[in-house]
């Protein structure tokens, strides 16, 4: 009986943290100093479980998915794409989750973009510039879909990193 209660409490807590994000309650709690402990607990919990994903893959009205595109330019001005190695499903889920965390704040976006560009430069020593572009899928409503509109990426973030 005790195991069932613990399991039920854990499920309820996880569900609360998911609802916290889906309803944008988390945004509201982070702006109120007196609720800071709840917001911090949610941040720590989501770092482990990814409960703070915005669930754009099945609930487009919550938020659309994010897409990362990186273009490297070498010393001769030639361009080529860079993408992270995702040899299995687990790595693809991790990259998807990274993009969800990317949008948490302007500081987070800058830090993520810098680290991605640095990884591209470290793996490609001839690269002198990396352009980072993040788009968000604009998902049409059912009526817009019937009228011919389709999912379209919209520019969300763009930056360039140069090697001096």
Write out pLDDT tens, residues 98-113.
887 888 888 889 999 9
Neighbouring C-beta atoms of residue 7, cutoff 10 Å:
10
Adjacency order of strands within the sheet including 127-138 = 79-82, 66-74, 127-138, 152-162
Decide if 27 is inside a domain: yes
* Predicted pLDDT of residue 63: 58
26 with 99, same domain: the answer is no
Q: Is the CB of residue 161 less than 8 Å from the CB of residue 130?
A: yes
154 and 100 belong to one structural domain: yes
Per-residue pLDDT at 83: 93
Give the pLDDT score at 128.
Answer: 95
The reported pLDDT for the residue numbered 97 is: 79
74 with 122, same domain: the answer is: yes
Claim to verify: residue 38 and residue 73 sit in the same structural domain: no
Residue ranges making up the domain that contains 96: 66-162
* Ranges under pLDDT 50 in the chain: 60-61
pLDDT at 53: 57
Q: Which of 16, 90, 20, 97 shows the shortest CA–CA distance to 53?
A: 97
- Residue 101 main-chain phi, psi, to 5 deg: -75, -25
Per residue in 12-42, pLDDT tens?
888 887 777 777 777 787 788 888 787 777 7
* Same domain? 81 vs 7: no
- Least Cα distance to 21 among 66, 63, 54, 59 occurs for 54
The structure tokens listed for 11 are 């499920």
Residue 97's CB: how many other CB atoms inside 10 A? 14
């Amino acid at each position: 009986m005790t195991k069932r209660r613990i399991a039920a409490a854990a499920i309820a807590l996880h569900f609360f943290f998911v609802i916290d994000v889906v309803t944008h309650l988390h945004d509201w709690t982070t702006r109120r100093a007196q609720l800071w402990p709840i917001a911090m607990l949610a941040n720590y919990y989501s770092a482990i479980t990814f409960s703070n994903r915005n669930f754009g893959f099945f609930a487009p009205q919550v938020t659309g998915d994010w897409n990362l595109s990186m273009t490297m330019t070498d010393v001769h001005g030639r361009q080529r794409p860079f993408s992270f190695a995702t040899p299995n499903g687990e790595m693809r889920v991790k990259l998807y989750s990274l993009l969800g965390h990317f949008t948490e704040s302007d500081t987070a976006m800058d830090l993520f973009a810098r680290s991605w560009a640095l990884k591209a430069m470290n793996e490609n020593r001839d690269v002198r510039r990396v352009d980072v572009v993040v788009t968000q899928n604009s998902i049409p409503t059912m009526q817009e879909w019937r009228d011919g509109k389709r999912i379209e990426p919209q520019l969300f973030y763009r930056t360039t990193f140069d090697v001096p």
